[in-house]
Every structure is written in C-alpha cells, then in structure tokens.
C-alpha cells in the first residue's frame, strides 16, 4: 500500500511539473499573440493611411487628366498645334547637329 501511495505521489508530482511547464508555454504563446496583435493594429493603421494617400493621389491624377483633356480640346491648343510640331522638329534638328 505504501508503494502504491509513493507511486501515486510521484505521478502527481510528475503531472504537476508537466502542468507547470505547459502553463509557462501557454503564457509565452499568449505574450506572442499579444505582440502580434499590437503589430497587426499598427500595420492596419499604416495600411489605412496609405490607402487614403493612394485614393488622394488617384483623385489628383483623375483631376489632372480631366484638365489635360480640357486643354487639348481647347481652341488655343488646336490652333497652336503646327507651332508645337515646328518647335519639336527644330529641336530634333538641333539635337542632331550638336552631337
């Protein structure tokens, strides 16, 4: 009977050691999870910030595209087209001579 009690005591002690070990592991995992959650929150904030910047830049691009289209459809742009072509040809001709 005494041997059986000693055996059960050793088993209980072994189980307590295992329990303590696994409790410590769980605490480490919980700390890691908390750290990852905090990082995730920071990353989500950064993502929202950059999404907002991207949206703002897209709006600016669209605004500029509309303005360019408006300019290209204007009479003054159409009238000065031959001058721009002449200036471009003159520039290309001068670039060829300087080399």
Mean pLDDT by 10 residues, the chain (99 residues): 86 92 95 96 96 97 96 91 89 67
Q: How much is the pTM?
A: 0.55
18-54 burial by CB neighbour count: b if 16+ within 10 A, else e? Answer: eeeeeeeeeeeeeeeeeeeeeeeeeeeeeeeeeeeee
What the block records as the tokens of 72 is 């290209």
Report yes or no: 71 and 77 within 8 Å, Cβ to Cβ: yes
Token look-up 């696994």 returns 22
pLDDT score recorded for residue 97 = 57
pLDDT score recorded for residue 38 = 96
pLDDT score recorded for residue 99 = 47
What the block records as the tokens of 86 is 């002449």
pLDDT score recorded for residue 93 = 78
């Amino acid at each position: 009977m005494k041997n059986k009690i000693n055996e059960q005591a050793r088993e209980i002690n072994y189980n307590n050691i295992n329990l303590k070990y696994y409790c410590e592991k769980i605490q480490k995992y919980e700390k890691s999870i908390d750290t990852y959650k905090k990082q995730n929150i920071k990353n989500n904030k950064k993502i929202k910030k950059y999404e907002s910047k991207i949206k703002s830049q897209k709006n600016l691009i669209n605004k500029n595209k509309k303005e360019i289209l408006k300019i290209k459809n204007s009479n003054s742009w159409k009238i000065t087209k031959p001058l721009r072509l002449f200036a471009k040809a003159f520039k290309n001709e001068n670039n060829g001579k300087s080399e």
